[in-house]
Structure 1
Amino acid sequence: MTAWDEWEPYAAVLLAGGRSSRLDGIDKSGIELGGRTMLAWALDAVVDAMEVVVVGDQVITERPVTFVREDPRFGGPVAALLTGVDALLRPRAYVGVVAVDMPFLRPRTLSRLREAAFGRDGAVLVGPDGCRQLAMVLSADRLAEVRPDHEGQHNMPLHKLLADLELVEVPSEGDEHRDIDTWTDLKNL
Protein backbone atom coordinates (compact mmCIF):
# COMPACT_ATOMS: atom_id res chain seq x y z
CA MET A 1 0.00 0.00 0.00
CA THR A 2 1.34 3.44 -0.93
CA ALA A 3 1.02 6.68 1.00
CA TRP A 4 -1.43 7.80 -1.70
CA ASP A 5 -3.78 4.90 -0.84
CA GLU A 6 -3.84 6.01 2.80
CA TRP A 7 -4.37 9.67 2.05
CA GLU A 8 -7.36 11.44 3.59
CA PRO A 9 -10.02 12.67 1.14
CA TYR A 10 -9.90 16.29 0.05
CA ALA A 11 -12.24 19.29 0.14
CA ALA A 12 -12.90 21.50 -2.89
CA VAL A 13 -13.43 25.20 -3.41
CA LEU A 14 -15.08 26.23 -6.69
CA LEU A 15 -14.48 29.82 -7.74
CA ALA A 16 -17.73 30.99 -9.35
CA GLY A 17 -17.83 34.68 -8.45
CA GLY A 18 -16.29 37.61 -10.21
CA ARG A 19 -17.65 40.19 -12.58
CA SER A 20 -17.33 38.27 -15.88
CA SER A 21 -16.63 41.61 -17.53
CA ARG A 22 -15.39 40.00 -20.77
CA LEU A 23 -18.71 38.15 -20.95
CA ASP A 24 -20.76 41.33 -20.47
CA GLY A 25 -21.36 40.49 -16.81
CA ILE A 26 -23.10 37.16 -17.51
CA ASP A 27 -22.73 34.69 -14.63
CA LYS A 28 -20.29 32.11 -16.00
CA SER A 29 -21.55 29.39 -13.70
CA GLY A 30 -24.97 29.47 -15.38
CA ILE A 31 -23.75 29.25 -18.98
CA GLU A 32 -24.90 25.98 -20.51
CA LEU A 33 -22.70 23.60 -22.47
CA GLY A 34 -24.16 20.32 -23.67
CA GLY A 35 -27.35 20.99 -21.72
CA ARG A 36 -25.53 21.44 -18.38
CA THR A 37 -24.30 24.54 -16.62
CA MET A 38 -20.62 25.22 -16.16
CA LEU A 39 -21.21 24.90 -12.41
CA ALA A 40 -22.58 21.38 -12.96
CA TRP A 41 -19.47 20.48 -15.00
CA ALA A 42 -17.21 21.87 -12.23
CA LEU A 43 -19.10 19.92 -9.57
CA ASP A 44 -18.62 16.76 -11.63
CA ALA A 45 -14.86 17.38 -11.69
CA VAL A 46 -14.74 17.34 -7.87
CA VAL A 47 -17.26 14.51 -7.43
CA ASP A 48 -14.96 12.67 -5.02
CA ALA A 49 -14.39 15.67 -2.74
CA MET A 50 -15.81 15.11 0.74
CA GLU A 51 -17.00 18.71 0.97
CA VAL A 52 -17.51 21.43 -1.64
CA VAL A 53 -17.75 25.18 -1.15
CA VAL A 54 -18.87 27.30 -4.10
CA VAL A 55 -17.77 30.91 -3.92
CA GLY A 56 -20.51 32.63 -5.89
CA ASP A 57 -24.22 33.30 -5.97
CA GLN A 58 -26.42 30.53 -4.62
CA VAL A 59 -28.28 28.42 -7.16
CA ILE A 60 -29.97 25.05 -7.05
CA THR A 61 -27.54 22.15 -7.48
CA GLU A 62 -27.96 18.39 -7.68
CA ARG A 63 -25.30 17.97 -5.02
CA PRO A 64 -25.26 19.48 -1.54
CA VAL A 65 -22.70 22.29 -1.41
CA THR A 66 -22.07 25.36 0.71
CA PHE A 67 -22.40 28.73 -1.05
CA VAL A 68 -20.54 31.81 0.13
CA ARG A 69 -19.61 35.17 -1.38
CA GLU A 70 -16.03 36.34 -1.39
CA ASP A 71 -15.10 38.96 1.16
CA PRO A 72 -14.69 41.62 -0.01
CA ARG A 73 -17.23 41.17 -2.82
CA PHE A 74 -15.46 41.10 -6.20
CA GLY A 75 -12.17 41.10 -4.29
CA GLY A 76 -10.51 38.77 -6.80
CA PRO A 77 -9.45 35.13 -6.81
CA VAL A 78 -7.33 35.30 -3.64
CA ALA A 79 -10.22 36.72 -1.61
CA ALA A 80 -12.52 34.10 -3.15
CA LEU A 81 -10.14 31.23 -2.48
CA LEU A 82 -9.52 32.20 1.14
CA THR A 83 -13.22 32.88 1.79
CA GLY A 84 -13.98 29.42 0.41
CA VAL A 85 -11.34 27.76 2.57
CA ASP A 86 -12.70 29.58 5.64
CA ALA A 87 -16.19 28.24 4.87
CA LEU A 88 -15.11 24.59 4.95
CA LEU A 89 -16.79 22.83 7.85
CA ARG A 90 -14.11 20.19 8.26
CA PRO A 91 -10.52 21.10 7.43
CA ARG A 92 -8.70 18.65 5.17
CA ALA A 93 -4.99 18.26 4.48
CA TYR A 94 -5.47 19.31 0.85
CA VAL A 95 -7.93 21.59 -0.89
CA GLY A 96 -8.83 21.32 -4.58
CA VAL A 97 -9.34 24.73 -6.18
CA VAL A 98 -11.19 24.95 -9.48
CA ALA A 99 -12.44 27.86 -11.57
CA VAL A 100 -16.02 27.32 -12.68
CA ASP A 101 -15.16 28.36 -16.24
CA MET A 102 -13.13 25.22 -17.01
CA PRO A 103 -15.75 22.78 -18.34
CA PHE A 104 -13.28 20.13 -19.51
CA LEU A 105 -11.90 19.28 -16.08
CA ARG A 106 -12.73 15.74 -15.01
CA PRO A 107 -12.37 13.75 -11.78
CA ARG A 108 -9.23 12.25 -13.32
CA THR A 109 -7.76 15.75 -13.55
CA LEU A 110 -8.21 16.26 -9.82
CA SER A 111 -6.87 12.78 -9.11
CA ARG A 112 -3.68 13.57 -11.02
CA LEU A 113 -3.33 16.88 -9.21
CA ARG A 114 -3.92 15.24 -5.81
CA GLU A 115 -1.37 12.54 -6.52
CA ALA A 116 1.23 15.11 -7.60
CA ALA A 117 0.49 17.29 -4.54
CA PHE A 118 0.80 14.54 -1.98
CA GLY A 119 3.57 15.36 0.50
CA ARG A 120 4.23 18.71 -1.19
CA ASP A 121 2.90 22.27 -1.13
CA GLY A 122 0.53 21.48 -3.96
CA ALA A 123 0.10 20.94 -7.67
CA VAL A 124 -1.26 23.07 -10.50
CA LEU A 125 -2.58 22.23 -13.97
CA VAL A 126 -0.45 23.65 -16.79
CA GLY A 127 -1.68 24.18 -20.34
CA PRO A 128 0.31 23.29 -23.47
CA ASP A 129 1.57 26.89 -23.57
CA GLY A 130 3.17 26.44 -20.14
CA CYS A 131 0.69 28.74 -18.40
CA ARG A 132 -0.66 27.76 -15.02
CA GLN A 133 -4.41 27.33 -14.87
CA LEU A 134 -6.90 27.91 -12.07
CA ALA A 135 -7.13 24.21 -11.32
CA MET A 136 -4.94 23.10 -8.43
CA VAL A 137 -4.63 21.16 -5.22
CA LEU A 138 -3.02 22.98 -2.31
CA SER A 139 -1.75 21.95 1.10
CA ALA A 140 -4.09 23.59 3.60
CA ASP A 141 -1.24 24.04 6.09
CA ARG A 142 1.06 25.71 3.57
CA LEU A 143 -1.77 27.92 2.32
CA ALA A 144 -2.37 29.07 5.92
CA GLU A 145 1.34 29.91 6.25
CA VAL A 146 1.39 32.23 3.20
CA ARG A 147 -2.05 33.73 3.79
CA PRO A 148 -2.12 37.55 3.96
CA ASP A 149 -4.26 39.45 6.43
CA HIS A 150 -7.82 40.30 5.39
CA GLU A 151 -6.91 43.70 3.97
CA GLY A 152 -4.06 42.21 1.94
CA GLN A 153 -6.40 39.78 0.15
CA HIS A 154 -8.29 42.43 -1.83
CA ASN A 155 -7.31 42.23 -5.51
CA MET A 156 -4.08 40.40 -4.66
CA PRO A 157 -2.84 38.49 -7.72
CA LEU A 158 -3.11 34.74 -7.23
CA HIS A 159 0.47 34.19 -8.41
CA LYS A 160 1.67 36.46 -5.58
CA LEU A 161 -0.19 34.38 -2.97
CA LEU A 162 1.28 31.18 -4.38
CA ALA A 163 4.80 32.53 -5.00
CA ASP A 164 6.33 30.88 -1.92
CA LEU A 165 4.65 27.52 -2.52
CA GLU A 166 6.47 24.83 -4.44
CA LEU A 167 3.76 23.64 -6.79
CA VAL A 168 4.26 20.60 -9.00
CA GLU A 169 3.18 21.46 -12.53
CA VAL A 170 0.87 18.81 -14.00
CA PRO A 171 0.53 18.91 -17.80
CA SER A 172 -2.98 19.18 -19.16
CA GLU A 173 -4.44 16.24 -21.03
CA GLY A 174 -6.66 17.10 -23.97
CA ASP A 175 -8.74 20.22 -23.37
CA GLU A 176 -8.58 20.20 -19.56
CA HIS A 177 -6.77 23.55 -19.54
CA ARG A 178 -9.36 25.41 -21.63
CA ASP A 179 -11.42 28.07 -19.94
CA ILE A 180 -14.22 30.38 -21.01
CA ASP A 181 -13.28 34.03 -20.58
CA THR A 182 -14.87 35.57 -23.67
CA TRP A 183 -17.73 35.00 -26.10
CA THR A 184 -15.10 33.90 -28.65
CA ASP A 185 -13.86 31.22 -26.22
CA LEU A 186 -17.42 29.96 -25.87
CA LYS A 187 -18.05 30.03 -29.62
CA ASN A 188 -14.85 28.10 -30.32
CA LEU A 189 -15.73 25.11 -28.10
Structure 2
Amino acid sequence: MRYDAIVLAGGRATRLGGTPKPGVVVGTRRLLDRALAACADAERTVVVGPAPEIGPVPPGVVVTCEDPPRGGPVAGTAAGLAALARDDRPAHVLLLAVDVPAAPAAVGPLVTAAAAHPDADGVHLSRAGRAQWLTGLYRTDALTAAATTLAVHGAPVRRLVAPLDLVEVDDPAGVSDDVDTWEDVTRLAARRTGRPEEATP
Protein backbone atom coordinates (compact mmCIF):
# COMPACT_ATOMS: atom_id res chain seq x y z
CA MET A 1 0.00 0.00 0.00
CA ARG A 2 1.28 3.45 -0.92
CA TYR A 3 1.08 6.16 1.73
CA ASP A 4 2.64 9.41 2.87
CA ALA A 5 3.16 10.26 6.54
CA ILE A 6 2.56 13.21 8.85
CA VAL A 7 4.24 13.41 12.25
CA LEU A 8 2.63 15.96 14.57
CA ALA A 9 5.38 17.45 16.73
CA GLY A 10 4.21 20.92 17.72
CA GLY A 11 2.51 20.43 21.07
CA ARG A 12 3.22 22.58 24.13
CA ALA A 13 4.28 19.66 26.38
CA THR A 14 3.10 21.52 29.48
CA ARG A 15 3.22 18.42 31.68
CA LEU A 16 6.84 17.92 30.65
CA GLY A 17 7.67 21.39 31.88
CA GLY A 18 7.70 22.71 28.34
CA THR A 19 10.45 20.35 27.16
CA PRO A 20 9.85 19.83 23.42
CA LYS A 21 8.60 16.29 22.93
CA PRO A 22 10.53 15.54 19.70
CA GLY A 23 13.80 15.56 21.63
CA VAL A 24 12.64 13.60 24.67
CA VAL A 25 14.59 10.35 24.92
CA VAL A 26 12.70 7.16 25.67
CA GLY A 27 15.15 4.38 26.28
CA THR A 28 17.98 5.30 23.94
CA ARG A 29 16.13 7.13 21.14
CA ARG A 30 14.39 10.47 20.72
CA LEU A 31 10.64 10.35 20.34
CA LEU A 32 11.06 11.94 16.91
CA ASP A 33 13.46 9.19 15.81
CA ARG A 34 10.95 6.56 16.92
CA ALA A 35 8.17 8.28 14.98
CA LEU A 36 10.31 8.58 11.87
CA ALA A 37 11.16 4.88 12.12
CA ALA A 38 7.43 4.22 11.89
CA CYS A 39 7.38 6.23 8.65
CA ALA A 40 10.16 4.23 7.00
CA ASP A 41 7.91 2.91 4.22
CA ALA A 42 6.15 6.20 3.52
CA GLU A 43 6.80 7.79 0.15
CA ARG A 44 7.13 11.23 1.72
CA THR A 45 7.19 12.26 5.36
CA VAL A 46 6.49 15.69 6.81
CA VAL A 47 7.11 16.67 10.44
CA VAL A 48 4.90 19.50 11.65
CA GLY A 49 6.18 21.78 14.39
CA PRO A 50 8.61 24.60 15.14
CA ALA A 51 11.89 23.76 13.40
CA PRO A 52 14.17 24.65 16.34
CA GLU A 53 12.31 22.16 18.55
CA ILE A 54 12.31 19.39 15.98
CA GLY A 55 16.04 19.39 15.47
CA PRO A 56 17.82 17.37 12.79
CA VAL A 57 15.83 15.15 10.45
CA PRO A 58 17.03 12.68 7.80
CA PRO A 59 17.41 13.83 4.19
CA GLY A 60 14.11 13.92 2.36
CA VAL A 61 11.98 14.54 5.45
CA VAL A 62 10.08 17.82 5.16
CA VAL A 63 9.66 20.12 8.16
CA THR A 64 6.76 22.58 8.20
CA CYS A 65 4.67 24.40 10.80
CA GLU A 66 1.07 25.50 11.09
CA ASP A 67 0.49 29.26 10.92
CA PRO A 68 0.28 30.50 13.61
CA PRO A 69 2.26 27.89 15.54
CA ARG A 70 0.76 25.89 18.43
CA GLY A 71 -2.50 25.55 16.56
CA GLY A 72 -3.14 22.03 17.80
CA PRO A 73 -3.27 18.66 16.04
CA VAL A 74 -5.98 19.59 13.51
CA ALA A 75 -4.07 22.66 12.37
CA GLY A 76 -0.93 20.54 12.25
CA THR A 77 -2.69 17.90 10.16
CA ALA A 78 -3.91 20.53 7.71
CA ALA A 79 -0.38 21.96 7.41
CA GLY A 80 1.04 18.49 6.84
CA LEU A 81 -1.51 17.69 4.15
CA ALA A 82 -0.71 20.97 2.40
CA ALA A 83 3.01 20.16 2.45
CA LEU A 84 2.35 16.73 0.93
CA ALA A 85 -0.02 17.94 -1.80
CA ARG A 86 0.94 16.84 -5.32
CA ASP A 87 -0.73 15.27 -8.32
CA ASP A 88 0.64 11.79 -7.76
CA ARG A 89 0.21 11.60 -4.00
CA PRO A 90 -0.75 8.21 -2.52
CA ALA A 91 -4.32 7.43 -1.61
CA HIS A 92 -3.46 7.13 2.10
CA VAL A 93 -1.62 9.13 4.73
CA LEU A 94 -0.22 7.81 8.01
CA LEU A 95 -0.98 10.25 10.84
CA LEU A 96 1.12 9.97 13.98
CA ALA A 97 1.63 12.02 17.11
CA VAL A 98 5.33 12.33 17.90
CA ASP A 99 4.84 11.15 21.49
CA VAL A 100 3.98 7.50 20.80
CA PRO A 101 7.23 5.55 21.42
CA ALA A 102 5.94 2.25 20.02
CA ALA A 103 4.59 3.81 16.81
CA PRO A 104 6.65 1.50 14.56
CA ALA A 105 4.65 -1.46 15.88
CA ALA A 106 1.38 0.23 14.89
CA VAL A 107 2.01 0.52 11.18
CA GLY A 108 1.63 -3.14 10.21
CA PRO A 109 -1.77 -3.56 11.87
CA LEU A 110 -2.97 -0.27 10.40
CA VAL A 111 -1.93 -1.21 6.86
CA THR A 112 -3.54 -4.64 7.24
CA ALA A 113 -6.79 -3.11 8.50
CA ALA A 114 -6.87 -0.49 5.75
CA ALA A 115 -6.41 -3.19 3.11
CA ALA A 116 -9.23 -5.22 4.69
CA HIS A 117 -11.60 -2.21 4.69
CA PRO A 118 -10.99 -0.50 1.33
CA ASP A 119 -14.23 1.48 1.50
CA ALA A 120 -13.47 3.05 4.89
CA ASP A 121 -12.10 6.58 5.16
CA GLY A 122 -9.46 5.38 7.55
CA VAL A 123 -8.39 3.10 10.37
CA HIS A 124 -6.96 3.94 13.77
CA LEU A 125 -5.91 2.20 16.94
CA SER A 126 -8.25 2.01 19.93
CA ARG A 127 -6.90 1.45 23.43
CA ALA A 128 -9.32 0.16 26.09
CA GLY A 129 -12.24 1.67 24.22
CA ARG A 130 -10.55 5.02 23.71
CA ALA A 131 -10.04 6.05 20.09
CA GLN A 132 -6.42 6.88 19.25
CA TRP A 133 -7.05 8.99 16.17
CA LEU A 134 -3.45 10.24 16.05
CA THR A 135 -2.21 6.71 15.45
CA GLY A 136 -4.07 6.10 12.22
CA LEU A 137 -3.99 5.57 8.48
CA TYR A 138 -6.47 7.66 6.50
CA ARG A 139 -7.62 8.18 2.96
CA THR A 140 -5.85 11.38 1.97
CA ASP A 141 -8.77 12.89 0.09
CA ALA A 142 -11.22 12.20 2.93
CA LEU A 143 -8.95 13.67 5.59
CA THR A 144 -8.23 16.72 3.43
CA ALA A 145 -11.92 17.29 2.77
CA ALA A 146 -12.72 17.04 6.49
CA ALA A 147 -10.01 19.57 7.34
CA THR A 148 -11.31 22.10 4.81
CA THR A 149 -14.67 22.26 6.61
CA LEU A 150 -13.13 23.49 9.89
CA ALA A 151 -11.50 26.54 11.36
CA VAL A 152 -8.53 24.32 12.15
CA HIS A 153 -6.67 26.41 14.74
CA GLY A 154 -7.58 24.96 18.12
CA ALA A 155 -10.16 22.54 16.71
CA PRO A 156 -10.50 19.20 18.55
CA VAL A 157 -9.54 16.06 16.66
CA ARG A 158 -12.99 14.57 17.23
CA ARG A 159 -14.46 17.29 15.00
CA LEU A 160 -11.95 16.50 12.25
CA VAL A 161 -12.82 12.81 12.22
CA ALA A 162 -16.56 13.15 12.89
CA PRO A 163 -17.61 13.02 9.21
CA LEU A 164 -15.29 10.11 8.42
CA ASP A 165 -16.22 6.43 8.19
CA LEU A 166 -13.52 4.91 10.37
CA VAL A 167 -12.56 1.44 11.51
CA GLU A 168 -11.12 0.90 14.99
CA VAL A 169 -8.18 -1.49 15.41
CA ASP A 170 -7.96 -2.88 18.93
CA ASP A 171 -4.69 -2.14 20.71
CA PRO A 172 -4.52 -4.51 23.70
CA ALA A 173 -0.74 -4.19 23.98
CA GLY A 174 -0.81 -0.41 24.35
CA VAL A 175 1.17 0.34 21.21
CA SER A 176 -0.59 3.71 21.07
CA ASP A 177 0.30 4.73 24.65
CA ASP A 178 1.75 8.22 24.60
CA VAL A 179 4.12 10.37 26.62
CA ASP A 180 2.59 13.23 28.57
CA THR A 181 4.70 13.20 31.76
CA TRP A 182 8.18 12.20 32.85
CA GLU A 183 6.56 9.27 34.64
CA ASP A 184 5.25 8.13 31.25
CA VAL A 185 8.77 8.33 29.85
CA THR A 186 10.11 6.06 32.58
CA ARG A 187 7.17 3.64 32.38
CA LEU A 188 7.24 3.27 28.61
CA ALA A 189 11.02 2.94 28.49
CA ALA A 190 10.81 0.14 31.04
CA ARG A 191 8.11 -1.59 29.02
CA ARG A 192 10.35 -1.63 25.96
CA THR A 193 13.43 -2.95 27.76
CA GLY A 194 11.87 -5.06 30.49
CA ARG A 195 13.73 -3.13 33.20
CA PRO A 196 13.42 0.28 34.85
CA GLU A 197 15.02 3.22 33.09
CA GLU A 198 15.47 6.82 34.09
CA ALA A 199 13.67 9.54 32.18
CA THR A 200 15.86 12.00 30.26
CA PRO A 201 14.60 15.56 30.52
Residues 117 and 167 in structure 1, CA contact (< 8 A), matched pair in contact too = no
1:73-92 residue pairs with structure 2 within 5 A? 73-88=69-84, 90=86, 91-92=89-90
What's the C-alpha RMSD, in Å, of the aligned pairs? 1.6
Give the drift of 1:44: 0.6
- Give unmatched runs, 5+ long, in structure 1: 1-6
Deviations 1:10-59 (A, max 9, x none): 00000011111111111001011222110000011111111000002332
1:99-138 residue pairs with structure 2 within 5 A? 99-106=97-104, 108-118=105-115, 119=118, 120-127=120-127, 129-133=128-132, 134-138=134-138
Give the drift of 1:166: 1.1
1:20-169 residue pairs with structure 2 within 5 A? 20-58=13-51, 59-88=55-84, 90=86, 91-106=89-104, 108-118=105-115, 119=118, 120-127=120-127, 129-133=128-132, 134-148=134-148, 152-169=151-168
Q: Distance in 2 between matches of 1:163 and 1:114?
A: 21
Percent of aligned positions that are identical: 39
Q: Distance in 1 between matches of 2:85 and 2:148?
A: 21
Which residue type is aligned with residue 80 of structure 1?
A: G
Q: Distance in 1 between matches of 2:14 and 2:100?
A: 17
Q: Distance in 1 between matches of 2:99 and 2:8?
A: 9
Which residue type is aligned with residue 92 of structure 1?
A: P
1:167-178 residue pairs with structure 2 within 5 A? 167-178=166-177
Counting matched residue pairs gives 179
Deviations 1:91-112 (A, max 9, x none): 2210000001000121x52132
Q: Distance in 1 between matches of 2:67 and 2:149?
A: 12
Deviations 1:102-148 (A, max 9, x none): 00121x52132123224220001111x21111200111111132223
Q: Distance in 2 between matches of 1:92 and 1:19?
A: 31
Residues 31 and 99 in structure 2, CA contact (< 8 A), matched pair in contact too = yes
Q: Could you say what secondary structure the match of 1:115 adopts?
A: helix
With normalisation by structure 1, the TM-score equals 0.88
Which residue type is aligned with residue 15 of structure 1?
A: L
Residues 102 and 178 in structure 1, CA contact (< 8 A), matched pair in contact too = yes
With normalisation by structure 2, the TM-score equals 0.83
Give the drift of 1:174: 2.2
Q: Distance in 2 between matches of 1:100 and 1:144?
A: 20
Give the drift of 1:63: 4.7
Q: Could you say what secondary structure the match of 1:153 adopts?
A: coil
Residues 78 and 144 in structure 2, CA contact (< 8 A), matched pair in contact too = no
- Give unmatched runs, 5+ long, in structure 2: 189-201
